[in-house]
A and B are shown apart, each in its own frame.
Chain A
């Protein structure tokens, strides 16, 4: 692909109307598998290559930006696309000027495992074999569906200021649904997992866990309405921190909508008993899913703590927003690393008060801009006077900037996908809408 990228670069360089440019290339090879129950339904092989070009037309202190993408059959005929993009960029030359990153050194990251790359189909077959064997032993439960996406991708980057980068990565995505039944009642539990290598995949454990959850749902009822202690664990946690990532971005500051101020607490109330939040962007974790040696602008990846002990310390910013704010670009936000607290998971769950431990939401997604959330409970465990009963339905609501003031983080760590942080967070008082 380098040959094509370099040829397109030559064409871009020869155009007088183009002041700066960036080219991104990606070659993706993927094996996909889908089951219906324990029966194979479909195998798919995907091969795709794409080159995307971004051009800038500088006109005094402003510039116009335009971009286009090319498929393999268009690589030899890029000239008309470039000319059209130039026309567009010239028509738009009222944008603020920012300069693309210059040549820089990229860390070597091991984001590709040889098993996923070299034995792609065999890995998929093997995981499917293990899953169907496990599911065959289920009692009062079934594997509803299993989907596997084994992706190997090469990424290329070149810009007009000397940035040149390449890396390869592998990623395996597993999606499963397990059902349980008792009489005429049937329930399900759904899970999604992302891995960098095949040895991370504990498919038997995931299926076992989702069978257990589906069985718990059979006898679950609505939680009681009111205010009580709520513990969130594992899967919903990355989403909990999305609003903090959003408001600490150079883009939110540039738009004038960030609620954070430098060296000021991120919580809306004084923090008393809660664990102060320390949030770090770390794109350099090799086994995590949001890792990269450089971002889409060619900015070298680096670890950046944006919130330290509850205080906003610095923004993260892509090349564009860093230039507008006259700060050094940090690059895109990488994996979410959250410092753990002092409390064991057991301690958080053994509160003397009524406690709702939520294991699954329908879709936990606090609004990044407002921080508000109101989300349906798919499965939880309500503890009252030492008695634990499964619950489902109803919802919890709040605002992350408010409720994190009192939140306590577990000392146990959870590592999954792009998240490295406490495995559980306790909110002493959250509103539950239930029975």
Chain B
């Protein structure tokens, strides 16, 4: 079933119309995710083809209460039956809700179709060629060091197709995401460590390449991890790698400005709009339209066209990230950040590609300016605290530097903890480099979606443990 076909879209349009005839607003979203994953380790290889998370969501909404019916049985007859069943159980009606005219003021987008531009369509690369390439990468990883005991090359290419229809819009998009991860496990003196390299984005097979520098860094990091100790707790000058910078952005005023949390009164940022919450050097954005970003899309899961949002401008908190429900309730524009894990889950206000913008300093200048400190890289996770503005980011590796040079001392794992505005206000230098990484983000501990994170190197000061 091609969910972008005219016949399918017309069916959805009619069914969304049936819902709208009974309620203030009706829409339908069809999602299809097809992926091919290839996994190769030192002993095995596997290929999996998935139609994962494909289905249709029918929505009725009165501006106050939302009701949805989701199914992955997307034959036209089944969908008609699903909507009949949905309508029979709806509690929303045309006359109920606090905004019975909801939907009339939504943008009219007409019909539009979008596709990710790629240099090398993964479908055009023969499977044998892919497998051979990944086998070569596996051998390179295994030969990195005697301590390397196992390695894994994980590749995925996915096509996420969606169609959104309501009374005013008829949109479709096909997003191509490609990602490759190299993981190396080393074991020595009864200690097991691992590190990774990841390339991913809304892009084609062109992203499948690792430089000799990348691989050398992985080798050096594994050796460092094997000899690493816990850091003495305390406050240190830090320089963060671009992916660590991205996690700081993501966990601080990425999650902190998701406006559904404003509505639930568990996000402090609501009370700090237009106030200084970061160093004046900081410009932070979320941009679902960023070309190549892993979290890039053309329209969100509620039919809002994607566009960049400047969250922090020169250290001043300016704008939140909203889904339709919270935007409506708060009286702010929907920013196109309504996203769901799959057809089976609810839409929340979510991030897309979140990053700090680069400035002028080189990495050498940042290290020289800091004098001594810890360089933090290989982030392994973070967690948000939009109410308390606490922050926890864990990195696999911290490397000590003094007088602008690495001393060879390594620490692992290292956690950044503290109060978000303290951390962001302590930023005293921002690099002139910029790179984005692929990541997966949960709301709390669930609702996983694909996001991009990134930025330049930054110099700050914070508590490490």
Contacts and interface: CB of A to CB of B under 8 A. Distances in A.
B224 interface: no
A365 B392 CA distance: 12
Q: How large is the interface on B (under 10, 10 to 19, 20 to 34, 35 or more residues)?
A: 35 or more
Interface string A42-75: 1111111110000000000000111111111110
A169 interface: no
A197 interface: no
Contacts of B6: none
A388 interface: no
Contacts of B392: 362-363, 375-376, 395
Nearest to B32: A71
A55 to B, nearest CB: 10
Interface stretch (A17-25, A91-99, A310-318): A91-99
Interface string A66-109: 11111111100000010011011101101110000000000000
Q: How large is the interface on A (under 10, 10 to 19, 20 to 34, 35 or more residues)?
A: 35 or more
Contacts of A71: 51, 54-55, 72-74
A95 B44 contact: yes
B407 interface: no
Given A177-B266, A393-B418, A85 B150 contact: no
A82 to B, nearest CB: 11
Contacts of B192: 257-259, 369-370
A433 interface: yes
A65 B39 CA distance: 11
B266 A179 contact: yes
A192 to B, nearest CB: 7
Contacts of A254: 43
B193 interface: yes
A81 B36 CA distance: 13
Contacts of A177: 264, 266
Interface stretch (A33-41, A271-279, A288-296): A33-41
A255 B152 CA distance: 10
Given A71-B51, A370-B192, A255 B234 contact: no
A142 interface: yes
A154 interface: no
A351 interface: no
Nearest to A45: B69
A433 B70 contact: no
A96 B65 CA distance: 54
The winner among A91, A256, A378, A433 for most chain B CB atoms within 10 A is A433
Contact of B344 (A36, A46, A394): A46
Contact of B444 (A36, A175, A256): A175
B11 interface: no
A369 B414 contact: no
Nearest to B46: A65
B69 A66 contact: no
Contact of A362 (B1, B55, B86, B385): B385
Contacts of B394: 374-375
A67 B380 contact: no
A365 B393 CA distance: 12
Contact of B149 (A175, A256, A365): A256
B54 A369 contact: no
Contacts of B73: 47-49, 71-73
B48 A374 contact: no
Given A32-B346, A257-B185, A363-B445, A88 B387 contact: no
Contacts of B44: 65, 95-96
A67 to B, nearest CB: 5
A217 interface: yes
B230 A431 contact: yes
A347 B385 CA distance: 33
A268 interface: yes
Contact of B150 (A70, A257, A378, A432): A257
B417 A188 contact: no
A192 B443 CA distance: 13
Nearest to A81: B49
B444 A69 contact: no
A396 to B, nearest CB: 8
Nearest to A377: B417
Contacts of B390: 362, 376, 378, 392-393
A372 B226 CA distance: 12
Interface string B383-418: 101011011101000000000000000001111011
Contacts of A398: 230
Contact of B385 (A28, A37, A365, A378): A378
B45 A94 contact: yes
B265 interface: yes
A32 B340 CA distance: 14
Nearest to B75: A73
Contacts of A34: 346
B185 A255 contact: yes
The winner among B390, B412, B414 for most chain A CB atoms within 10 A is B390
Given A70-B51, A71-B51, A92-B47, A225 B71 contact: no
Nearest to A379: B388
B446 to A, nearest CB: 8
B195 to A, nearest CB: 11
Interface string A404-435: 00000000000000000000000000011110
B128 interface: yes
B264 A67 contact: no
A196 interface: no
B355 interface: no
Contacts of B266: 144-145, 177, 179, 186, 188
A88 B418 CA distance: 49
Contacts of A217: 388
B251 to A, nearest CB: 10
B387 A41 contact: no
A190 interface: yes
A7 B317 CA distance: 59
A95 B256 CA distance: 46
A187 B150 contact: no
Contact of A433 (B82, B86, B385, B464): B464
Contacts of A68: 48-51
B52 interface: yes
Contacts of A344: none
Given A144-B264, A375-B392, A394-B463, A69 B51 contact: yes
The winner among B149, B193, B233, B346 for most chain A CB atoms within 10 A is B233
B49 A85 contact: yes
- Sorted nearest first, the 4 A-B pairs with minimum C-beta distance are A433-B465, A433-B233, A376-B392, A395-B465
22 contacts: A41-B66, A43-B67, A44-B68, A44-B69, A67-B46, A68-B48, A71-B55, A71-B73, A74-B51, A91-B131, A145-B264, A225-B233, A255-B149, A257-B150, A374-B414, A374-B415, A375-B415, A376-B392, A393-B417, A395-B415, A431-B465, A434-B233
Given A36-B260, A66-B49, A256-B150, 11 more contacts: A42-B68, A43-B65, A43-B68, A44-B70, A71-B55, A88-B127, A144-B264, A255-B150, A370-B191, A395-B465, A431-B465
Interface of A: 28, 30, 32, 34, 36-37, 40-50, 64-74, 81, 84-85, 87-89, 91-92, 94-96, 142, 144-145, 175, 177, 179, 186-188, 190, 192, 217, 225, 254-259, 268, 362-363, 365, 367, 369-370, 372-376, 378, 392-398, 431-434
Interface of B: 1, 41-52, 54-55, 65-75, 78, 82, 86, 89, 91, 127-128, 131, 149-150, 185, 187, 190-194, 230, 233-234, 260, 263-266, 268, 325, 329, 344, 346, 380-381, 383, 385, 387-388, 390-392, 394, 412-415, 417-419, 444-446, 463-465
